[in-house]
Amino acid sequence: MSFSYHAGLYPYPSRREVVYGRKGMVCTSQHLAAQAGLDVLKQGGNAVDAALATAICLTVLEPTSNGIGSDLFALIWTGGRLYGINGSGPSPALLTRDRVTAAGYDAMPLRGWLPVMVPGAPAAWAAIHDRFGRLPFERLFAAAITYAEEGYAVMPTLAAMLAAEWDAFSDFRAQPAFAGLFSVFYPTEKPAQPGDLLKLPALGRTLRSLAASRCRSLYDGPIGAAVAAFSLQTGGLLRQSDLAAYQPQWVDPICTNYRGYDIWEMPPNGQGLVVLMALNIASRMTFAQRDTVDTLHRQIEAMKLAFTDGKTHIADPNCMKTNTADLLADAYAEKRYREIGAAALLPQPVDADNGGTVYLCTADEDGTMVSLIQSNFAGFGSGIVVPGYGISLNDRGNNFSLDTASDNCVGPSKRSYHTIIPGFVTKNGDAVGAFGVMGAFMQPQGQFQVLMNTIDFHLNPQAALDAPRWQWLGGKKIEVERGIPQALIDGLTARGHEVSVNDDPLPYGRGQIIWRNEDGVLTGATEPRADGVVAAW
């Protein structure tokens, strides 16, 4: 069951065309990674193998957004059922609120060892393959290892990110904990330019070890020992006992029905709940047209209210006092809906962050589909890169609160509020497809807008991604892309929104979509704000 489109009548001319396929499809933000996934499909692999090969490649091809030290969430549709895996790691057992405040912080830092959490992505790769993979595990690493060891030409988006990260970490260059970042990812002692050849031999060696050990070398093997030794040497709290104890978790996805479609997300500690809450509020509204002040105003208000409650309640599920079902209940949605009026509200603000994340989706001819996302969080994450191994460690702990009353207060062996959220759509028990939008706190906002573009306004998947976006920055502050007409900006301002225009496309997220119709035909779209491609067979 697919979506209905108003063929040829899109208000936003696509910068790219939709792509169709039948035997398989891979969509992601980097064309070489997408082709690696497609090659795996052609070698007899399934959509799961393709997703893993693509994800592993992205640690090499877009290292400013994800890496061996990343976390991972995935939704997998196979055999007529949707499965979820939470590959987010906990904090070190030695991390306490008192340690953070004793170090002089009144909020969790973004860089350095304190926000580092146990890497979850490699363990999740192995767990997913154990359950659903078809090809030998080591074969899924082949393309990534080749690109790491032989090098690859840098694409424009990666070049821009490398330059931005060079600037962001310039004040850390003299600190021993950050030496690996510059020696591994800036081998010529300057950011690579578009078209430059970038080789990452240390990362290649690590990938070979992970492939041979089914990733256990990172957790209870020699790589884990090296990570722990570097942590101890440079003031970190991560120990090999933290790594060895880690296992990803298979979980039941959560969903809501929006205008006849079931929208699926990962449960907390992920923020996919925010998307579902916003859709439940929006479902009580009628939107005649996309491009009106009233439509934008009500979309923004619904998202603000959902985000406020998400930031208040989402945490490690073992620590949440509020039941997820209560936040998805009709009573909650109705209460929040009735708070929306003609003027902009001033709810509790949420910080916005562009983040460092990659998203991909895959499909095969047998009906298996994967929606997968992995992330360092902010660019290169903590900035801690283990010398000789190329492992950039995430800074996911930055999302912890230091408020002792918060469910999300920092603590030992605890998972933080998490921003990465793969999405999936079904209708009447059949798969419609996989979708996602990268970008930290932009992710639920991007998903919400893409879903409404598709379901309410009948845009095809490429037009749904192309359309100009807005993002809530907190309070009454709204940032919009240049493509939103000035008349709409003026109208929002008149309603009390504080609107600014940002010409940089990256803060608005980078999405991918694969829809499947009743005949098994795949329709793919990739974000114009990235270097992505739809690889189809």
Please give the residue range of the domain that contains residue 483.
279-355+445-530
Residue 426 lies in a domain: no
| Amino acid code (one letter) for 138 | E
In a domain, 428, yes or no: no
Residue 430 lies inside a defined structural domain of this protein: no
| Entry pTM | 0.92
Question: Does the residue 365 lie in any domain?
Answer: yes
User: 113 with 92, same domain?
Assistant: yes
Same domain membership, residue 449 and residue 383: no
- The residue among 289, 379, 298 whose CA lies nearest residue 344 is 298
Do both 193 and 157 map to the same domain?
yes
Q: Does residue 258 lie in a domain region?
A: no
Sign of CA dihedral 504, 509, 512, 518: negative
The answer to whether 253 and 82 are in contact (CB under 8 A) is: yes
- 128 and 162 together in one domain: yes
pLDDT of 10 reads 44
Residues 467 and 452: beta-carbon distance below 8 Å? no
Q: Give me the pLDDT at residue 355, please.
A: 53
CATH number for the domain spanning 486: value is: 3.60.20
Q: What whole-number distance in Å separates Cα of residue 183 and Cα of residue 203? A: 12
Rounded to an integer, what distance in angstroms lies between the CA atom of residue 120 and that of residue 138?
19
User: Domain end: 371, 399, 427, which one?
Assistant: 399
Q: Considering its fold, how many domains does the chain have in total?
A: 2
156 with 298, same domain: the answer is no
Q: Which residue, chain included where needed, has tokens 């807005």?
A: 470
The answer on 49 and 172 residing in a single domain is: yes
Name the H helices within 194-292: 201-213, 222-233, 240-244, 272-282
Residue ending a domain, choose from 399, 427, 457 = 399
- Domain shared by 170 and 307, yes or no: no
Question: How confident is the model at residue 323, as a pLDDT?
Answer: 86
Q: Average pLDDT across each block of 10 residues of the chain; the chain has 537 residues. List them in order.
A: 51 69 94 96 98 98 95 96 97 97 96 97 98 98 98 94 94 93 94 96 97 98 97 97 97 96 93 94 93 95 91 87 89 90 73 62 97 92 94 95 93 91 94 87 90 94 92 91 92 96 80 92 88 85
Q: Are residues 54 and 173 in the same domain?
A: yes
Q: Give CA 294 to chain center in angstroms.
A: 30
Q: Please give the span between the terminal C-alpha atoms of the chain, in angstroms, as a whole number.
A: 21
Can you say whether residue 499 is alpha, beta or left, with left for phi > 0 and alpha for psi between -120 and 50 degrees?
A: beta
Residue 114 to residue 88: CA distance in whole angstroms: 16
Q: Which residues contact 199 (CB under 8 A, 6 or more apart)?
A: 148, 149, 150, 151, 187
As to burial, measured by CB atoms within 10 angstroms (0-12 exposed, 13-18 middle, 19+ buried), residue 176 is exposed
pLDDT at 483: 86
Residues 283, 137, single domain; the answer is: no
Asked if residue 407 belongs to a domain, the reply is no
Q: Does residue 334 sit in the same domain as residue 364?
A: no
Give the phi and the psi of residue 246 in degrees, each rounded to 5: -80, 135
DSSP state of 267: P
Same domain, 98 and 210: yes
- In terms of DSSP bridges, do strands 81-87 and 249-251 run parallel, antiparallel, or are they unpaired? antiparallel
Q: Is residue 516 part of a domain?
A: yes
On whether the CB atoms of residues 404 and 97 are closer than 8 A, the answer is: yes
Q: Classify residue 524: in a domain, yes or no.
A: yes
- Shared domain for 190 and 333, answered yes or no, is no
Tokens at residue 50, please? 């393709």
